[in-house]
């Protein structure tokens, strides 16, 4: 058990009998009202986003989580297979536990998997991944003067918005939390 002021992004808490991953946390003190903690969290079973307000000093049940490094191997319909980097054991993970990471997973990519006992809670990607553009409309000379964006299909199949100067086979750095283009990477 802990208090509401101990909540941090990345924590997993038990709320209404289910595990939730804390995405955002903000302490608010509105005018003459009592201070509270505004928390944005994702239900790890259903994947649903939820915002909740906790009073200062309210008891919160934190879930003890073990995190290990794994390597993504392959996908078989709704099951993803990962290999433990230390023991080379393979584990299957349901698509619901992979969550928002699906569009950014490439074969041989390293991830962190969070466990509660032997149950997989979540798959955590690094904040940025490097993806290659497989299809986009060509850019023309002089198109870089404005902040106009176009759609680009990445090697994992996800589609993101990129600047006009991006071409096919370019390697891009993409933010896995927002799905936005960050920069083109020189090879």
Taking only the tens place, the pLDDT of each residue in 29-38 is: 888 888 889 9
Indicate the SS3 state at residue 144. helix
Provide the domain limits for residue 83. 66-124
Distance in angstroms (rounded) separating the CA atoms of residues 72 and 14: 28
Alpha carbon distance 169, 158 (integer Å): 15
179 and 140, same structural domain? yes
| Domain limit, last residue, from 17, 40, 62 | 62
Asked whether residue 136 falls in the same domain as residue 169, the answer is yes
Residue 146 confidence (pLDDT) above 80: no
pLDDT level of residue 70 (50, 70, 90 thresholds) = very high
Q: Are 58 and 70 members of one domain? A: no
The pLDDT, as a whole number, for residue 57 is 86
Torsion of CA 37, 40, 44, 45, to 10 degrees: 100
**How far is 168 from 132, CA to CA, in rounded Å?**
8
Token pair, residue 162, equals 């990129």
Residue after which a domain boundary falls, among 124, 142, 166: 124
pLDDT for the residue numbered 164: 85
Residues 44, 8: one domain?
yes
Looking at the fold, whether 120 and 142 belong to one and the same domain comes out as no
Instruction: Give the C-alpha separation, 9 to 26, whole Å.
Output: 10
CATH of residue 135's domain is 2.40.50.140
Q: How many domains does the chain have?
A: 3
pLDDT at 147 over 80: no
Helices and strands counted in the chain (H then E):
1, 16
Q: Please compute the mean of the pLDDT values over residues 142-153 and round it to a whole number.
A: 75
Global confidence as pTM = 0.71
Q: What percent of the chain has pLDDT over 90?
A: 29
Name the band, by pLDDT with cuts 50, 70 and 90, for residue 98: confident
Whether 106 and 54 map to the same domain: the answer is no
For residues 23 and 73, membership in a common domain is answered with no
Least confident interval from 52-61, 142-151, 163-172: 142-151
pLDDT at 172: 93
Same domain, residue pair 138 and 110: no
131-143 per-position pLDDT tens digit: 999 998 886 666 5
Same domain for 70 and 57: no
The pLDDT tens digits of the residues spanning 13-26 come to: 999 988 888 888 99
What CATH code is carried by the domain that includes residue 21? 2.30.30.30
Identify whether residues 112 and 151 lie together within a single domain: no
Cα(20)–Cα(132) distance, rounded to whole angstroms? 32
Per-residue pLDDT at 72: 93
92 burial via Cβ count (<10 Å: 0-12, 13-18, 19+): exposed
- Of 78, 99, 124, which one is at a domain's C-terminal end? 124
């Amino acid at each position: 058990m802990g208090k509401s002021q101990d909540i941090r992004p990345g924590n997993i808490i038990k709320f209404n009998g289910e595990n939730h991953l804390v995405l955002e946390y903000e302490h608010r003190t509105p005018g003459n009202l009592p201070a509270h903690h505004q928390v944005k969290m994702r239900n790890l079973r259903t994947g649903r986003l939820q915002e909740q307000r906790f009073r200062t000093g309210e008891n919160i049940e934190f879930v003890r989580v073990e995190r290990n490094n794994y390597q993504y191997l392959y996908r078989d319909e709704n099951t993803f297979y990962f290999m433990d980097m230390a023991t080379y054991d393979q584990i299957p993970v349901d698509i619901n536990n992979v969550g928002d990471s699906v569009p950014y997973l490439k074969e041989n990519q390293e991830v962190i998997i969070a466990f509660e006992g032997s149950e997989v809670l979540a798959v955590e990607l690094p904040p940025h991944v490097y993806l290659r553009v497989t299809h986009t409309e060509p850019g023309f000379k002089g198109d870089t003067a404005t902040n106009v964006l176009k759609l680009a299909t990445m090697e994992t199949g996800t589609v993101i918005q990129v600047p006009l100067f991006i071409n096919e086979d370019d390697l891009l750095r993409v933010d896995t939390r927002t799905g936005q283009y960050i920069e083109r990477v020189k090879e």
